[in-house]
Amino acid sequence: MTQYTLLGPHPGGQMYSISKYFNFYRTRLPALFGGGVLGKCPGFIDELEHGALPTMPRRKAWWQYYVLWPIELAHQNADCFHIVDQGLMWYARFLKKRRIVATVHDLIAYMISAGKLDLKQPPAKRNLVISESIRQLRKVENLISVSRHTADLMVRELEIPARKISVIHNHLDPLFAPLSELEKIAARKMFFADADYAVIHVGKASAYKNRLGAMKAFELLLKKLPTARMFLVHGPASREEADFMVESGHAHAFQFFPPIAEEQLRRFYGAADVLLFPSFYEGFGWPPLEAMGTGCPVVSTTCASLAEVVGDAALTLDDPNDHARMAEMLQSVLTDRTTAADLRDRGLRRARHFAPEIALQRVAEVYRSLT
């Protein structure tokens, strides 16, 4: 029997989307290959379940990740290894010579370190890991890209032949389905209290996610809808965001939540009036897809891969810095029932294109092509 081994992220690394990807394939692929698929990661794999990622002392995590894990990698024995994120490609340096499949979610870190994306440079030590990961990535013969945008970027920026790349979009977890009316009432009370209009954002304060831009657009909306409120998951506010709220005089209109488990996240989306997701760059863009799956209208940008995800099922703009236009779009969704209903219907239809079975079968095809 051919043995496939997926190699995932460290549980303490807080890599939510990559952990989700890793867990899906390590638990679902074995049924298609008679059990011949294993999942391994630094630390304890059980800690990656359900997006509940632990925190641990930095020294302990560093020791597990950069000392113990390379030793373990050197003793792994499989016919094919699947490294589930481009940032983990340094693993390949320690593997015995076997076939490798790698999934590329984005090239954000590379683009920043190469000075091709105008965002804050990572620490020097991190640049070494990025450089080694890209070096190993260029050697791989079988690559999976989660978006056409990223695949095209690999061809253009890394000079990787297109024939090596299979574009397989991420899947939508069936958990992200519409709420019943009773569920919606309860969730709205729990998350949004007495807010007349609930605008949400899901994502860290990373510069490329443009969370501050979302807040600026919302602040403009308040001039038209003063009883609207904005709720953000993956808080707390950054220093720049906190300064903005104080200067705007509308700090009371913003509320930040820590990361929440997926079942709660489904309720958060499903009870909201609109998701605002105006990123400058995304390798894929999970929040718009998850929101659409629950029937939550989406306002987004067309930047990078986001256009592939939302299609015609969201209100979109090309310029993430056009806060006034964003505010107008939000107002349209919040005050026009026809617009909101149309977006909900379009979003639910669009979400069906990302069924788990589609992604699972396509990754299985890549595996089978190696034998």
Q: Answer whether residue 164 is part of any domain.
A: yes
* Pair (346, 363) in one structural domain: no
Full DSSP string of 134-203 = HHHHTT-SEEEESSHHHHHHHHHHH---GGGEEE-PPPPPTT--PPPHHHHHHHHHHHHTT-SEEEEEES
Q: What does the alpha-carbon distance between residue 294 and residue 39 come to, in Å, rounded to a whole number?
A: 30
* Pair (304, 193) in one structural domain: yes
Supply the pLDDT for residue 45: 61
Region 162-180: mean pLDDT is 97
Supply the pLDDT for residue 205: 93
The number of folded domains in the chain is 2
Q: Answer whether residue 176 is part of any domain.
A: no
Supply the pLDDT for residue 224: 97
Region 77-106: mean pLDDT is 94
Structure token digits, residue 206: 């990373």
- Per the structure, the complete domain to which residue 156 belongs is given by 4-171+355-368
The band of 371, judged by pLDDT with boundaries at 50, 70 and 90, is: confident
* Pair (256, 332) in one structural domain: yes
Task: With a cut of 80, say whether residue 261 has pLDDT above it.
Answer: yes
Residues whose CB is less than 8 angstroms from the CB of residue 273 and which lie 6 or more positions away in sequence, other chains included: 197, 198, 199, 296, 297, 333, 334, 340
Task: With a cut of 50, say whether residue 74 has pLDDT above it.
Answer: yes
pLDDT tens-digit series, residues 293-310: 999 999 999 999 999 999
Full-model pTM: 0.92
Amino acid identity of residue 349, one-letter, is R
Continuous segment of H or E residues that includes residue 277:
strand 274-277
Average pLDDT, the chain: 93
Q: What does the alpha-carbon distance between residue 105 and residue 127 come to, in Å, rounded to a whole number?
A: 18
The band of 98, judged by pLDDT with boundaries at 50, 70 and 90, is: confident
pLDDT tens-digit series, residues 188-202: 999 999 999 999 999
Query: What CATH number is associated with residue 29?
Result: 3.40.50.2000
Supply the pLDDT for residue 97: 76
Q: Answer whether residue 155 is part of any domain.
A: yes
